Chains A and B, each alone.
Chain A
Amino acid sequence: MRYITLFLIMFILWMLFTFNGELPNIVIGITVSLITTLIFGRSFVKDTKKFFQPKRYFWIIVYLIIFVWECIKANIDVAYRVLSPKMPIKPAIVKAKTTLKTDIAKTFLANSITMTPGTITVDIIDDEFFIHWIYLSKEKPEEYTHIILGRFEKFLKRIFE
């Protein structure tokens, strides 16, 4: 089942990318998608039923809007730190615990963290994220865990779990 889902996603992506409805192109697309599916099918998401629940797509859209907004805020913040003559930076590597369970949700959370306010995920060990932060604004672990993870966690839980 998950092989079929991955094949469909790959094929749709190929068709959008080439944007060409001729027969040779479709044949190439099917071949390439098959090869990709055979190689990477093993590491694809296990529970493919989630792909067919429309409610999740609604939350993806909500998540995207919030994410883009946070991303723009983060960039203005980093641009300010880079441009100001004093360079107000206070870098640190901090530890944050997540409540998400599945691997794909953790992957998305890590990617979202990398894109937002001055933070990059250095490593994930079980449910602990190690995050390099350009400006450590809070001292207590609970506070900065909430700042870094809290915004995205609740949406990702609705999307992936």
Chain B
Amino acid sequence: MNDINIFSIIFFVIGVLFDLFGCIGLIRLPDVYNRLQSATKSVTLGTCSILFGLFLHYGFTAAGLKALIAIPLLFFASTVAAHALIRGSYTFGIKLWKGTVKDDYKDVKK
């Protein structure tokens, strides 16, 4: 770990920052739908960035390739999970935030 690549450090820092933004959003935003926005987007990109930094550090070895393959898996898992959660909470009847300006989905659900 002595001669760690400067590029992988950059990717680590970006990743950790985006993870942090995602967590701040999770606390600050008003309702479950908006919180899911920040939880999926920022955290997925942050974690992908950390994994890409790992790949740059290890190169084409066993560990590096595993980090690289984990990116699409994480990507699909988090998007599908976000979709399932947001649809589930709507079906369950959780109210949208009072500042919500439009709801086209309401008509279909009835």
Contacts and interface: CB of A to CB of B under 8 A. Distances in A.
Interface in A46-83: 71-72, 74-75, 78-79, 81-83
B76 A13 contact: no
Nearest to A118: B37
A93 B36 CA distance: 14
A40 interface: no
Contacts, number: 115
In this complex, the member of A19, A20, A114, A118 whose beta carbon has the largest number of chain B beta carbons within 10 angstroms is A114
Contacts of B83: 110, 114, 120-122
A19 B102 CA distance: 50
User: SS class of chain A's interface: helix, strand, loop or mixed?
Assistant: mixed
B37 A78 contact: yes
Contact of A13 (B69, B90, B101): B69
Interface stretch (A1-9, A26-34, A128-136, A153-161): A128-136
Contacts of A136: 101-102
Contacts of B69: 13, 16-17
Given A114-B82, A123-B105, A89 B99 contact: yes
A115 interface: yes
Contacts of B24: 82-83
A79 B87 contact: no
Contact of A115 (B41, B104, B106): B41
Contact of B36 (A16, A74, A89, A120): A120
Interface in B54-110: 61-62, 65-66, 69, 75-76, 79-80, 82-83, 86-87, 90, 96-97, 99-106, 108
Interface in B1-28: 18, 21, 24-25, 28
Given A79-B21, A82-B21, A134-B37, A94 B104 contact: yes
B33 A120 contact: yes
Given A114-B79, A120-B83, A134-B34, A92 B41 contact: no
A20 B66 CA distance: 12
Contacts of A123: 87, 105, 108
Nearest to A90: B101
Nearest to A117: B41
A93 B31 CA distance: 14
A93 B38 CA distance: 16
A92 B83 CA distance: 16
B42 A75 contact: yes
6 contacts: A90-B99, A91-B100, A91-B101, A114-B79, A115-B41, A115-B44
